Amino acid sequence: MRVFVLFFLLFISTCLLAQSKKELRAETTRLEAENAALKNELTELKKPKEVDLNNPHQKASYGLGILVASNLKNQGGDSLNLESIIIGIQDVFLNRELKCDEQEASMTVQVYMQQAMEQKAAKMKAEGIAFLAENKLKEGVKETASGLQYKVITTGQGKAPTANDQVTVHYTGKLIDGTPFDSSIERGEPATFGVSEVIRGWTEAIQLMHEGDKWMLYIPSELGYGERGAGGGQIPPHAVLIFEVELIKVN
């Protein structure tokens, strides 16, 4: 009798264990399916939404987004939280209760953007100093007393300009991270200007060149656009500028 009871209990335990494993497998399968569905939803949410540029309202809205975002990035607002920006816009447009009033928002943004600009400028300045310190050690790079650095690519045999001359040049300008900001070559037409009418780094470098010369110029911030920057944010404050310049003609 005792043996029968033991076998019966063992049988019941085995059945319960099998049922438990079956339920566990089913639960695991369900959770895996839910996880896959959530991943698909997340992937869809991350996909950029389509904008109908034939719709004047959508086109204007999208254009405004570009302008606002570009302006914020140029002012050092790269660290702003995009989701929070969208929530703030939605709260205003949908007449929801605002989490802070406009006066507090204005003061908060002003302080934040000022600090962001200062941090961006300090980073740009430090990166420029480090770049020039390393660059001047490279083969073929020369440095003048002002800190201007240059490298001769092609040597011409023509005349050298003075500060009172006009010159015609082809050039391409970029930042030290390789971002281009201006190019007469892309425009398909060389530029003509007075030697003394440009940034100090150019004025100095052009007078060292001869017609037919092609040089690489590495211009410190203080010989370029300094703490102001230029180009509507294309050239940030304290940016070191790199130019490839060909002196075509002294006019």
Residues classed as catalytic: 171, 181-182, 199, 225, 243
**Where does residue 6 fall: left (phi above 0), alpha (psi -120 to 50 degrees), or beta otherwise?**
alpha
How many of the other CB atoms lie within 10 Å of CB of 203? 16
Residue type, 212: G
How do strand 191-194 and strand 180-183 relate by DSSP bridges? unpaired
How do strand 166-175 and strand 149-154 relate by DSSP bridges? unpaired
Phi then psi for residue 124, to 5 deg, are -60, -40
DSSP code string of 158-183: SPPP-TT-EEEEEEEEEETTS-EEEE
> Cα(53)–Cα(61) distance, rounded to whole angstroms?
10
CA 170 to mean position of chain CA atoms: 27
Q: Which tokens in the block code for residue 206? A: 């052009």
